[in-house]
Amino acid sequence: MTTGFAVTEETGRHYTFQSRLPQGEYFEIRPRLLPHNAKPITDEESGMCIGYSVSQAPGLWRIYDTDGTFVRLEEAPLESPLIDPTDIALLAAGVFRIFFTGRALLQSRVRTAITINLSQGTVSFLRSRLKMGLSARNLKLTETAAKHMHNPGRYVPLQIQEKAIRYGRRMTDPQKKAGYFRYETEMYRLVEDRVNKNYIYKKYILEVVVRERDWTVSHFLYK
């Protein structure tokens, strides 16, 4: 069955995008193996889940990447004065910090179950893990596909599209065009529930059509 779109031989180009999703909404492709009590770590910049946290003890969390692989422990910092002379100088210069268990942490726009903040080192590490494998940086988009990325109702992070290609079900292109294949996988859209400090999950099927000779995405759609 076709989905009513035409695949053309458009030139592929590299693009970068920031999330077009409404604030508090994110995408996730959930790994097969993950502790049942894992909480998503969400990144507002990309609009996606970049890892998971599991509470091991008060002030101690196990951190997993998006493939469900344990990568490190995250420990709450020790108590120290909330504001010292360095903090005062930073505030005077217009640099804002958030305080967590008594120590200042750089605001990373990353959340874990809407309750805890991560160190900048862990955030950077999780983001770097997304660049392994095929890597979203290597994906190209046609101009038509790139235009859809500016539409909040069509936007899907490149890293999520890359995961669909890497782990999804590979099928013949609906238009039967040589060299093109459709990849299909389950995807979730997470919506913050601020009252219950959790996320509401909405399940979708993501389709990505790619020209494999140069890894150019010509079409993507979730429904």
Residues 93-101: contacts with CB within 8 Å, 24+ apart? 100/76, 101/59, 101/76, 101/77
Give the model confidence (pLDDT) of 152-170 as tens digits: 999 999 999 999 998 999 9
**In 22-161, which ranges are E strands?**
25-28, 39-43, 48-57, 60-64, 70-75, 98-100, 103-105, 110-112, 140-141
Inter-residue contact 98 to 90 (CB < 8 Å): no
Average pLDDT over residues 75-80: 65
Inter-residue contact 211 to 218 (CB < 8 Å): yes
**In the chain, which ranges are E strands?**
25-28, 39-43, 48-57, 60-64, 70-75, 98-100, 103-105, 110-112, 140-141, 169-172, 180-193, 198-211, 216-222
- The confidence score (pLDDT) of residue 124 equals 86
User: Strands 39-43 and 180-193: what pairing?
Assistant: unpaired
Q: Is the pTM of this model over 0.85?
A: no
Who wins on pLDDT, 8 or 39?
A: 39
Domain boundaries, given as residue ranges, for the chain: 25-129, 136-222
Instruction: Determine the residue type at 197.
Output: K
- How much is the mean pLDDT over the chain? 80
- The confidence score (pLDDT) of residue 104 equals 33
- The confidence score (pLDDT) of residue 113 equals 54
Instruction: Determine the residue type at 149.
Output: M
- The confidence score (pLDDT) of residue 95 equals 42
Output the CA–CA distances (angstroms, integers) from residue 91 to 84, 95, 104, 198, in the order listed.
11, 5, 12, 31
User: Distance (Å, rounded) from C-alpha 147 to C-alpha 87?
Assistant: 43
- The confidence score (pLDDT) of residue 86 equals 46
Q: Which residues fall within 8 angstroms of residue 153, CB to CB, at 6 or more apart?
A: none
Q: Which residues fall within 8 angstroms of residue 5, CB to CB, at 6 or more apart?
A: 174, 175, 219, 221
- The confidence score (pLDDT) of residue 208 equals 97
Between 4-18, 80-94, 121-135, 162-176, the lowest mean confidence (pLDDT) is in 80-94
Average pLDDT over residues 54-73: 91
pLDDT over 90 for what percent of the chain? Answer: 50
Give the model confidence (pLDDT) of 162-218 as tens digits: 999 989 999 999 888 999 999 999 999 999 988 888 899 999 999 999 999 999 999
